[in-house]
């Protein structure tokens, strides 16, 4: 196969997974958007974490909320827990890398806030520890996972939402995760704007 043919195949694989996942993920994405909207309307905030590509997705999502997505609206309270190098390195050095997100949830999270936890495998110790800390502090959780959901899926409680991509490919899971995050942004734009604009 030539390189252009390989590129076409990758596009087709990504598009096929998105089409096949849409019926299963539409409900959880809508439920997650409602959870986030309720928290933001109540003056709460969204904390977001993940590793590697999922860290980039966490930062992307927080930026879309805090700044804007596709429509003008008020800034939404969102913090990516992946960006403060001094905090990340001091927690990793003084405690353990597994605590880098949990420690921030402990300090920043308040009851009624929402933690968005992103892990393609569901097996990221630091993300899972953040979920445990979030529950202990009264936060709800939106988990973006893949494969079988891993330990992260097993940690979720009633009232949490899991958006699990039905794939074993990290790249394909990440591609659907960013689409799901953009769907959340779109739904929040329309939900919160509709409320602010009134009838």
Please report the domains of the chain, with CATH numbers, ordered by start residue. Answer: 3-197 (3.40.50.10490)
pLDDT at residue 54 is higher than 80: yes
Does pTM top 0.85 for this prediction?
yes
> Mean of the pLDDT values across residues 64-82?
95
Position 199 scores a pLDDT of 58
pLDDT at residue 77 is higher than 70: yes
pLDDT at residue 40 is higher than 70: yes
Contact partners, residue 194, CB within 8 Å, separation at least 6: none
Q: What strand order describes the sheet that includes 161-165?
A: 78-80, 46-49, 114-118, 140-146, 161-165
pLDDT at residue 91 is higher than 80: yes
Question: Using an 8 Å Cβ cutoff, are 161 and 135 in contact?
Answer: no
Question: Using an 8 Å Cβ cutoff, are 141 and 127 in contact?
Answer: no
pLDDT at residue 129 is higher than 90: yes
φ, ψ of residue 118 to 5 degrees: the values are -115, 120
For 16, 25, 26, the CA distances from 21, given in Å and listed in that order, are: 8, 6, 8
pLDDT at residue 58 is higher than 90: yes
Position 198 scores a pLDDT of 59
């Amino acid at each position: 196969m030539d390189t252009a043919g390989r590129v076409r195949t990758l596009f087709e694989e990504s598009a096929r997974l998105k089409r096949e996942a849409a019926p299963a993920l539409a409900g959880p994405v809508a439920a997650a958007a409602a959870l986030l909207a309720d928290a933001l309307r109540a003056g709460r905030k969204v904390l977001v974490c993940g590793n590697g590509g999922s860290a980039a997705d966490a930062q992307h999502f927080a930026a879309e909320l805090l700044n804007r997505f596709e429509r003008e609206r008020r800034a939404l309270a969102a913090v990516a827990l992946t960006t403060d190098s001094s905090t990340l390195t001091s927690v990793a050095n003084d405690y353990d890398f597994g605590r880098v997100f949990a420690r921030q949830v402990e300090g920043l999270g308040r009851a009624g806030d929402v933690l968005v936890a992103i892990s393609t495998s569901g097996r990221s110790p630091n993300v899972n520890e953040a979920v445990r800390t979030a529950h202990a502090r009264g936060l709800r959780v939106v988990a973006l996972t893949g494969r079988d959901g891993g330990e992260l899926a097993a940690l979720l409680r009633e009232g949490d939402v899991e958006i699990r991509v039905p794939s074993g490919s990290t790249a394909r899971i990440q591609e659907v995760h960013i689409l799901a995050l953009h769907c959340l942004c779109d739904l929040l734009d329309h939900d919160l704007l509709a409320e602010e604009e009134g009838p």
